[in-house]
Chains A and B, each alone.
Chain A
Amino acid sequence: MRFIAPALVLLVAAFLLPLLYVVYLSFGGSSPSLEKYAAIATEPLYRQVLLNSVYISVVSTGLTLLLGYPIAYHLEAQPPRRRTVLMILVLMPFWTSILVKSFAFTVILGKSGIINSFLQWATGMEGHLPMLFNRFGVVVGMTHFLLPFMVFTVLASLLTQGPELRRAANVMGATRLTIFWRIIFPLSLPGVMAGILICMIMSMAMFITPALLGGRGDLMISNLVEFHVRDTLDWEMASALAVCLLAITGVFCIGIARVRGGQLFGEEG
């Protein structure tokens, strides 16, 4: 207990209390009211932003799964040495600053960016594909950000399977396709579910990517929080939005705990 005390003090003082203060403000602070929540529920702006967030998150998470599962599967099939080397390809972007990535995507996707320049040169046509400051840009940036998380989660569940079941199925005459669809994939489903939920939590709360790669119409909840803090100075509204985001996260966390058999982090013993 005494070992935990310093961490506990820090997190109560600089995490729990601030969060409680946000909740307090969201209900109107010293003059309690549900005004802000009512506005979120009724005003079209908020409904639009919520829809944006859900749309972008679902599409990005889906793309992440489609790309991440084959990567995880490919990594798992490698001999350990090669896997370690290939893992660096996934770890590198994981540890790269999101600003570096966002900057790179503005250069890659922009009006006179790498892709458009190449297309102009190759086709000889004027004009460009709009890929930046719109939903496409946000989804690309988001997918890139989420991909390592999906790969790690799915890879972990593939690695715990072990070769015995596959060998047994193989001996019993199952083809590779049958083995994948009847054994490997169903057994990896908890990992896939956890990966989807983790990606949803992160994408719903994404701030930098929509701010830098999206356009006016691609605001997400986080951007709205910042808008109210910086531009309208409506802290109560910002707090109410933050509490909504927290609630959404909470629901997904319950989902994660479910698929992990009661463990949220898999570490709490």
Chain B
Amino acid sequence: MARQTTIEERVPSAATRLIAWLGYAFLLMPSLVVLPMSFGTGTEFDFPPKSFSLDLYREYFSEPSWVASTLTSLQVAAASAALSLLIGGLAAYGIVRYQFRGKKLLTIFLLSPMLVPTIVVALALYLYLGIARATGTTWGLILCHAVVCVPYVIVTMMAGLRQVDRNLEIAATIMGASWFGVLTRVTIPLLRPTILASGLFAFLISFDEVVISFFVSGVRTQTLPVKMYSTIHWEISPVLAAVSSLLTILSLGICILVAALQKER
């Protein structure tokens, strides 16, 4: 007896499911390798580790160059996330809520850093900061990261703003709220999840950014990814497993937080 399958059931064929699950496994593989390895011991790469310890984490936290680069990264990421959230948020508000000439072209320009290859931006900023004698400064690094983060903030905030019913703002205005009152009492409270999400994303983008930092950071402003890059490039030390695990947990944490924020919306 032939079983009736309706299209609503939509069970993909066995082959599709197999490839999909292989794909999921492939995607997760790096994280799954890095985490257990970070609890290994000493100097050898063993997978799975023969014995478990926190040695690698201890090494990471006691090595001044790792700690210093981590602190630099945190500082730069926090500052550039705040900066890009402010100016990106304003830009998104202007784009979504107002009509003006050349809007489409301007929007494309504001989002274009997403498409221009990072290496090109990195080279450009490296040469430019060289002229401005700002290579290796923290504020130079913050500005460079803001250039990369702003488009992402604009895109997420635009999507969020489009979700906010225009009538709510009109209603508040007619009841007597000023432009600023509408913004602070209606628009921003409604956008709170989006604002937090774009801030977290901007933070993560800056925190993980490596190519531009590699070009424009100096010895004293070496960020964590730059330090990781040269470590992988030159010596591959097992402590990388601990650093990688911490970064993975950071990404996962931010992902889950953003997912929770979306649910709230």
Contact = CB atoms under 8 A, between A and B. Distances in A.
Interface of A: 1-4, 6-8, 10-11, 14-19, 21-22, 25, 66-68, 70-71, 73-75, 77, 84, 86, 88-93, 95-108, 110, 112-114, 117, 144, 147-148, 163, 166-167, 169-170, 176, 179, 201, 204-205, 207-208, 211-212, 221-222, 225-226, 229, 235, 238-239, 242, 245-246, 249, 253, 264-265, 267-269
A70 B23 contact: yes
A88 B22 CA distance: 15
> Interface residue tally of chain B, by bracket?
35 or more
18 contacts: A7-B91, A10-B150, A14-B146, A66-B19, A74-B12, A92-B28, A95-B252, A96-B30, A96-B247, A97-B228, A103-B236, A107-B45, A170-B7, A222-B211, A225-B119, A265-B114, A267-B158, A268-B107
B113 A11 contact: yes
A101 B248 CA distance: 10
B117 A89 contact: no
Given A22-B124, A108-B33, A269-B95, A103 B116 contact: no
Nearest to A112: B45
A45 B117 CA distance: 21
Contacts of A92: 27-28, 31, 248, 251-252, 255
A205 B27 contact: no
Interface of B: 5-8, 10-13, 16-17, 19-20, 22-24, 26-31, 33-34, 37, 45, 47, 86-88, 90-91, 93-95, 98, 100, 103-104, 106-121, 123-128, 131, 143-144, 146-147, 150, 154-155, 158-159, 204, 208, 210-211, 215, 225, 228-229, 232-233, 236, 240-241, 244, 247-248, 251-252, 254-256, 259
B23 A267 contact: no
Contacts of B90: 3-4, 6-7
Contact of B147 (A14, A226, A267): A14
A191 B210 CA distance: 29
Contact of B27 (A6, A90, A167): A90
Contacts of A95: 204, 251-252, 254-255
A259 B17 CA distance: 29
Given A7-B88, A104-B244, 18 more contacts: A15-B113, A19-B121, A71-B19, A73-B16, A88-B259, A96-B31, A99-B228, A102-B232, A103-B30, A103-B244, A110-B45, A201-B117, A222-B211, A226-B215, A229-B215, A239-B123, A245-B117, A246-B120
A196 to B, nearest CB: 15
A77 B10 contact: yes
Given A10-B87, A92-B31, A112-B45, A18 B108 contact: no
B124 A267 contact: no
B24 to A, nearest CB: 5
A11 B109 contact: yes
Contacts of B232: 99, 102-103, 106, 212
Nearest to B233: A212
B121 A15 contact: yes
Contact of B47 (A74, A90, A107, A235): A107
A18 B115 contact: no
Nearest to B19: A70
Nearest to B87: A6
Max chain B CB contacts within 10 Å: which of A1, A101, A107? A107
A147 B247 CA distance: 20
B105 to A, nearest CB: 8
A1 B101 CA distance: 10
Contact of A68 (B6, B23, B259): B23
Contacts of B259: 84, 88
Contacts of A1: 94, 98, 100
B16 A148 contact: no
Given A3-B90, A14-B144, A89-B28, A70 B123 contact: no
